[in-house]
Amino acid sequence: MVRFGFVFSMIATVSVATSAFTQSSSVQTAVDENFSAIETAVAEAGATPIASIDHARLAKAEGVEMPASRVLIFSDPEINTPILEENVRAGLDLPFRVLSFDQDNRPQITYTDSQFLKVRHGLTDASSLHAFQSKMLEVLNNLDATPAPTNGLFADYGVIELRSQLSVPKAVERLRKAVMEQDDTVWFGEVDFAAEASHLGVELPDAVLLLFGGPAPGGVAMAGFPAIGLDAFCQKLLVYANEEGGSVVIFNDIAALAELHYGSSAEPHHGLNKRLTATFRTAIE
């Protein structure tokens, strides 16, 4: 069986000695403490945790070293839904995300803010963007956090798109099966945006967000680029109904997001893009 992380020579070409990413226990402790503070603030804000992912520890369990990096994905359907009503593709960057990570032996916090959503998805509804930003700032109130960069960002930046004649439920079924057939992949969950909106009395096109990742290839890809643990990892796959019939599948271009955060990308980012695109395309044909 082919594995996501080892179908190309990324481990060999970007192999990193364990000592290269050895961190002081104080940095790891600071990253963990910041993450715990985020979890507490999310609970106090009444938001719903969707996935808690410790990139570095998951990667280490697979023999790959990288800087400390922990992302929390959490949701509030009352805030998601108005944004999705304007542009369902914004679901690729929903729900909320905050990353606690080590950048050059310095603990940092970064998050996806309303400006990122506005620019990448062409949003114009000021009230829904304000609600999103207000909830995020409520969570981050007592934390030193920096929003994801938007310099160089534009509409549909770094979005890879595939189209299928399959319905959303059938495409989701096939994609889930294709993902879980990879023996180095972890499933983190999914969000049915249309179902959430329905509970609020709002009708949205079918739209489901799938969350998963490969700890080993992800760890290699993030080794020198830990901030991309905010938006490129875990993998986010949005499947939504095409107005012309069938479904549309969109996901993040890992290399593009590395370039947004760091001004450069590496071979593992491009290799993962190719592998994921081929896997998803085959699944929905």
Bridge-based pairing of strands 235-241 and 207-213 is antiparallel
Per-residue pLDDT of the chain (285 residues; tens, 9 = 90+): 333 333 333 333 333 333 444 446 789 999 999 999 999 999 999 999 999 999 999 999 999 999 999 999 999 999 999 999 999 999 999 999 999 999 999 999 999 999 999 999 999 999 999 999 999 999 999 899 999 999 999 999 999 999 999 999 999 999 999 999 988 899 999 999 999 999 999 999 999 999 999 999 999 999 999 999 999 999 999 999 999 999 999 999 999 999 999 999 999 999 999 999 999 999 999
Report the DSSP beta bridge partners of residue 189: 211
What is the torsional sign of CA 74, 79, 83, 85? positive
Distance CA 157, CA 231 (A): 13
What's this model's pTM, rounded to 2 decimal places? 0.90
Residue 191 confidence (pLDDT): 97
Contacts of 256 (CB under 8 A, 6+ apart): 157, 158, 265
